[in-house]
Amino acid sequence: MERIAVYPGSFDPITNGHLDIIRRASRIYDKVIVGVLCNGGKNPVFTPEERVCMIRSVTSDIQNVEVDSFTGLLVEFVKAKNAAVIIKGLRTVADFEYEFQMALLNKALNPEYETMFMMTDTKYSYISSSMVKELAGFKGDLTGLVPASIINKIQEKYK
């Protein structure tokens, strides 16, 4: 049986921290499906299509990665994709409490699904999408924070 995992998030925009998790997960699972949340309450800067497009472009060299967007419950997306694993990245202790609660909630919604946590690489532990956007707003240098190939795309939003 194919081991399919879903890596969900807002990805507004994708960062090098997210990409690191995707690469590492792709070595563990047969297929990793990156799920871009459309209906989050975060007032995203990038449309779901833009986010999906950026993620596809920076993961095009990874054979077993797919990218799709979803609305509604994560467990429904996991079901629709025939997956059984939810991957989440943990950066700091601060992430843990929220992620623990989400994992338990998703477990209550569907006990067949497991949430697997991956520790972020220390060099990415301070990166977040909000920080990238704030920096871009001040015309700061995004080198090393997001994949080089999408820096222009992000900067365009803040012209």
Active site residues: 18, 42, 91, 129
Measured from the CB atom, the residue of 1 and 79 that comes closer to ligand COA is 79
In the complex, least distance from residue 141 CB atom to ligand COA, rounded to whole angstroms: 17
125 is in an annotated binding site: yes
The verdict on whether residue 127 carries a ligand-binding annotation is: yes
Q: Where are the alpha helices (DSSP H) in the chain?
A: 16-26, 48-58, 74-80, 93-109, 129-137, 151-157
Instruction: Determine contact, residues 88/103, Cβ cutoff 8 Å.
Output: yes
Q: Is 74 annotated for ligand binding?
A: yes
Determine if residue 158 is labeled as part of a ligand binding site: no
CB atoms under 10 Å from CB of 9, counted, come to 19
Q: How far is the CB of 106 from ligand COA (least distance, A)?
A: 6
State the Cα–Cα distance between residues 83 and 106, nearest whole angstrom.
Answer: 14
Specify the residue, 9 or 147, whose C-beta has the smaller distance to ligand COA: 9
| Interacting residues toward ligand COA by CB under 6 A | 8-10, 12, 15, 17-18, 21, 37, 40, 73-74, 89, 91, 105, 120, 124, 127-130
Cα distances (Å, whole numbers) of residue 86 to 31, 106, 121, 149: 12, 9, 19, 27
Our CB check for ligand COA shows the closer of 64 and 79 to be 79
Q: How many CB atoms lie within 10 A of CB 57?
A: 14
Separation of alpha carbons 118 and 152, rounded Å: 29
Write out the two tokens for 118. 């991956």
CB of 25 to ligand COA, least distance (A): 11
Least distance in Å: CB of 93 to ligand COA?
14
Binding-site residue numbers for substrate are 10, 42, 74, 88
Residues making up the annotated binding site are 10-11, 18, 42, 74, 88-91, 99, 124-130
